[in-house]
Homo-oligomer: A and B are copies of this chain.
Amino acid sequence: MATVDESDPDTPEAYAALVDRSEKLTNVQMASMVLGWDQRVMMPEGGTPARAGQLSTLSSLGHELLVDDDVGAWLERLEATDLTDDQAAVVRELRRRYDRAVDVPADLVEELTAHQAQTQQVWQEAKAEDDFDHFAPALEELIDLHRERAAAIDPTENPYRVLYEDGLPYLPLETVERIFTELREHLVPLIERIQTEGRELPSPFEGHTYDEATQMALSQEAVDLLGYEREHGRLDTAPHPFMSGNQFDARITTRFREDDPIDALTATIHEFGHATYQLGLPKDEYGTPLGASLSSGVHESQSRFWENHVGRTKPFWEFFLPTLKEHFPHLEDVTVEEAYAAVNRIYPDNLIRVEADELTYHLHIILRCEIDRAFVEGDLDVADIPQVWNDKMDEYLGIRPETDTDGCLQDTHWSYGFAGFQGYTVGSVLAAQLDAAMREDLADVDARIREGEFDPLREWMTEHVHRHGQRYPTEELIEVATGEPLTAEYFLEYVDEKFTDLYDL
Contact = CB atoms under 8 A, between A and B. Distances in A.
Interface of A: 1, 23-24, 26-28, 30-32, 34-35, 38, 42-51, 53-54, 56-58, 60-61, 229-234, 245-249, 251, 283, 286-287
A45 B248 CA distance: 9
B53 A249 contact: no
Contacts of A245: 47
A233 B43 CA distance: 8
A1 B56 CA distance: 14
Contacts of A50: 27, 30, 246-249, 286
Contact of A31 (B26, B46, B54, B248): B54
A286 B46 CA distance: 13
B231 A53 contact: no
Contacts of A34: 34-35, 38, 54
A38 B38 CA distance: 8
Contact of A229 (B46, B48, B229): B46
Contacts of A49: 248, 283, 286
Name the residue among A61, A245, A251 with the largest chain B CB count within 10 angstroms. Answer: A61
A232 B53 contact: no
A46 B287 contact: no
A46 B234 contact: no
Give me the 8 closest cross-chain CB pairs, A-B, nearest first: A47-B249, A27-B57, A50-B248, A46-B231, A46-B232, A27-B54, A31-B54, A47-B248
Contacts of A35: 31, 34
A45 B287 contact: no
Contact of A230 (B24, B27, B44, B230): B44
Most buried by B among A50, A230, A287: A50
25 contacts: A23-B53, A23-B57, A24-B57, A27-B53, A27-B57, A27-B58, A28-B58, A30-B53, A31-B35, A31-B58, A34-B34, A34-B35, A34-B54, A42-B42, A42-B234, A44-B230, A44-B249, A44-B251, A46-B229, A46-B249, A49-B248, A50-B247, A50-B248, A50-B286, A61-B61
| Main secondary structure on A side of the interface with B | helix
A57 B46 CA distance: 27
A298 B290 CA distance: 48
A245 B46 CA distance: 12
Contacts of A38: 34, 38
A334 to B, nearest CB: 32
A59 to B, nearest CB: 10
A133 B246 CA distance: 33
Contacts of A230: 44
Given A31-B54, A31-B58, 17 more contacts: A1-B53, A24-B60, A24-B61, A27-B53, A27-B56, A30-B54, A31-B57, A42-B234, A44-B231, A44-B233, A44-B234, A46-B229, A46-B231, A46-B248, A47-B248, A47-B249, A51-B248
Nearest to A50: B248
A28 B61 contact: yes
A461 B286 CA distance: 47
A229 B230 CA distance: 33
